Amino acid sequence: MSRSYFFLKKKIQSLTITNNNKGAGQVQDLTIESKTSTSLTVKWNPGTANTKYRIYLSSDGGGQFFVALNGLGNDYPQTSMTINFLTQNKLYYVKVQGGNNAGYEDEGSIISDTTFITRSFFFSKKR
Q: Is residue 125 part of a domain?
A: no
Domain count of the fold of the chain: 1
Domain of residue 35 covers: 22-114
Q: Is residue 102 part of a domain?
A: yes
CB 113 within 8 A of CB 90: no
Q: What residues pair up with 79 in beta bridges, in sequence order?
A: none
pLDDT, residue 121, reads 61
How far apart (Å, rounded) are the C-alpha atoms in residues 54 and 109?
Answer: 11
How far apart (Å, rounded) are the C-alpha atoms in residues 54 and 75?
Answer: 6
Q: Is residue 13 part of a domain?
A: no
For residue 33, the domain's CATH number is 2.60.40.10
pLDDT, residue 17, reads 31
User: pLDDT 10s per residue in the chain (127 long)?
Assistant: 333 333 333 333 333 333 344 467 889 999 999 999 999 999 999 988 899 999 999 998 878 999 998 888 899 999 999 999 999 999 999 999 999 988 998 889 999 999 998 776 666 666 6
Q: Is residue 35 part of a domain?
A: yes
- φ, ψ of residue 70 in degrees (nearest 5): 50, 40
Question: pTM for the whole thing?
Answer: 0.74
Residue 76 DSSP label: B
